[in-house]
Structure 1
Amino acid sequence: MRSSFIKIPLEPYVYVERRSDESLTRVLKLSMNLSGGNTRTLVFHFNLFLSGDQLTYTAERCPGLRRLVLPAWNRIKKTGICKAIRIWKDLESLTMPSIANPPYLFTEIANNCNNFKELKIMGPFEIFFADTLISCLPNLKTLSLRCSAINREALIKILDGLKDLEVLNISHSYLVELSGWQPQKKVIVRELDEVILEKASRLKRFLTCMEHETCVMCQRTENDEGIVRWYKYEEDDWKVDEVSSLHL
């Protein structure tokens, strides 16, 4: 299921039609009633824009949730997602978009979700995001940053700072670093250097693909500037992950 929406220039950057919202509410009510509070996994389409009220309603009726796939957060405010996280004490895995202010979210996860171990970020990965992960979720086991623009320094921070990390997926991503001659200019790096490979050697699995000349998915990531426009491609492409536990 997906929302019927139009893009708008101001936050939340999408306007969802009323009938579409009402249809989603009916589906959520029916699904939650049928599950009897036993839902363990929730997967939402990347073009399904939940409101904060819809998320709260869902969270209250599946308190034992362990895996959440929610790629679109446009209409969900900080208070809404934090309230849901406080309910989901058993949450282990989260697929989410890249957000500008991650501390509020990861602090809630750290304080409420003792079994949390797996994270997938859909979108650019910057230094601030890496620092927040290291500070709030130092015991993270699995991290997927596939199909993203990854700041090289942020990647090194993750490899150094997440001591318990076992699986890291950066397939179809490219690295970005600042130019030594022009500090404001970003340079795209299409291969991994010895420093990164050495640091990653401690991992159980380090998944990569940077074949930008031959790999269609690598080319798409670069053409879309590290924020893949999934709507342009095959319907189920956004569900793919080289990490089996994150693949849909």
Structure 2
Amino acid sequence: MPNIQKLALPMWTSLDINSIQSAFSKWQNLQTLIIHPFISMTVREVSSVELQAIGENCRNLTTIKFTTMLSKDLANIIVCNFPSLERVSFRCNYACIEASISLIIGLPNLKIFNLSHCIFTENTGTGRSCIIGMRPRDELVQAGTKKLVRFMVCCSDCTICQDVWKHANNPNRYGLEFRYVKEERWKTDEIKEHH
């Protein structure tokens, strides 16, 4: 399938780096990639080696949708390996404020950035992050609305946010419901691909 344009990777963790390099070297026309690490509750970070292999082979990639948290490290990897990105989504995830601003500033062609239904965090300076809630900092909103064509974040009374996160602190119900959200959310992303 050398002309594939859109790909979702629901079993990301089952691929080794050689498989990734081999596969993506054949998919140079790929325009949309959904990275979906389908493993219980402890989602490992997508590594720089994996993303570098994709970035080197898929120069036409303009849209990436992640179903993993947005950290500063991941933002740096994206900026370094995908300078042509126009649309990025981290819908329904934990999103670091500093990392989000890094993507807005660091991706010169970024037009649409989806942070809908996210829980925002910020670095404390101790190497850890703290949760600040569903409302992003003003500096993030200003950076996004100033540069981007479309910047998606939620208001504090968003009913989807409440549905997604209502059981996050309840260990008895968290696993099943949040897993369902993780499996389904890339299918309902507000960002539509335009090929």
- Give the TM bin, normalised by the shorter chain: 0.7 to 0.9
Deviations 1:178-237 (A, max 9, x none): 347x764623332122211221121011112243x5514444246448x9734379x855
- Name stretches of at least 5 consecutive residues in structure 1 with no aligned partner: 1-61
Spell out the pairing of 1:118-157 with structure 2 (5 A cutoff): 118-157=63-102
Q: 2:11 is matched with which residue?
A: 72
C-alpha contact (below 8 Å) 2:93/2:119 kept by paired residues: yes
Equivalent residue pairs, number: 182
3-state SS, counterpart of residue 108 of structure 1: helix
Correspondence list, 1:89-100, <5 A: 89-97=28-36, 99-100=44-45
Moved more, 96-105 or 72-81: 96-105
In terms of mean alpha carbon deviation, does 108-117 or 162-171 score higher?
A: 108-117
Superposed displacement of residue 110, structure 1? 2.6
Are residue 215 (structure 1) and residue 154 (structure 2) matched? no
Aligned equivalents of 1:115, 1:192: Cα separation in 2: 31
**Partner of 1:229: helix, strand, or coil?**
helix
For the pair shown, the structure with the greater C-alpha radius of gyration is 1
Q: How many angstroms does 1:243 deviate by?
A: 1.1
Q: How does 1:1-248 map to 2 (within 5 A)?
A: 62-97=1-36, 99-179=44-124, 184=128, 186-201=130-145, 202-211=147-156, 213-221=157-165, 223-224=167-168, 229-231=178-180, 237-245=185-193
- Structure with greater contact order relative to length (CA < 8 Å, sep ≥ 6): 2
Rounded Cα–Cα distance in structure 2 between residues aligned with 1:152 and 1:105: 24
Contact 1:173 1:221 in 2 (8 A): no
Letter in structure 2 aligned against 1:199: A
Task: Describe the shift of the 1:238–1:159 C-alpha distance in structure 2 as closer, same or farther (beyond 3 A).
Answer: closer
Shift of 1:109: 2.6
Corresponding position of 1:46? none
Q: CA deviation at 1:78?
A: 2.0
CA contact (8 A) 1:174 1:222 kept: no
SS in 2 for 1:143: strand
Change (3 A) 1:71 1:224: farther
Distance 1:206 1:176, change over 3 A: same
Q: Distance in 2 between matches of 1:106 and 1:209?
A: 28
* Structure 2 segments unaligned to the other structure (5+ residues): 38-43, 170-174
Contact 1:89 1:114 in 2 (8 A): yes
Q: Percent identity?
A: 24
Change over 3 Å in CA distance of 1:117–1:238 after alignment to 2? closer
The AA in structure 1 aligned to 2:36 is: P
